[in-house]
Amino acid sequence: MLGENHALLVDFPEYTLTILTLTADDTVFAENARRYHELDTEIRKLELRNSPTSDEFMHQAKHERAVLKDKLYLQFSNT
C-alpha cells in the first residue's frame, strides 16, 4: 500500500523494549535503525506526494530498506 508507515515500532510492537534498548546501547544497531527510518520516511513522502522519481531509484531505496529491516529484525528478535 502506498504511503504505509513501516517504522520498526509500528511493524514490531512486541519488540518495542528490545528495539529501544538496542538503539540506546548498540551504536551499529542505532545507525542502521536511523538509516532505515530515513529511507522509510523518504519512500513514504515520495509515494504520498506522487513525486516524480525514477523507478530505479524507488526500487533501490525499497531494496535497501528491506535489507536493513531484515538485518535489524535478526538482531532484535534473537536478543
pLDDT of residue 77: 93
Angle at CA of residue 59, ends 13 and 74, nearest 5°: 35
- With respect to residue 2, please indicate whether it lies within any of the assigned structural domains: no
- With respect to residue 1, please indicate whether it lies within any of the assigned structural domains: no
- With respect to residue 20, please indicate whether it lies within any of the assigned structural domains: yes
pLDDT of residue 54: 86
pLDDT of residue 2: 66
- With respect to residue 3, please indicate whether it lies within any of the assigned structural domains: no
Cα pseudo-dihedral 22, 25, 31, 33, rounded to 10: 20
- With respect to residue 29, please indicate whether it lies within any of the assigned structural domains: yes
Containing structural domain, residue 42 = 8-77
pLDDT of residue 52: 73
CA atoms within 13 A on the CB side of 48: 9
The model's pTM: 0.87
Spell out, as residue ranges, where the chain has pLDDT lower than 50: none
Total count of domains within the chain: 1
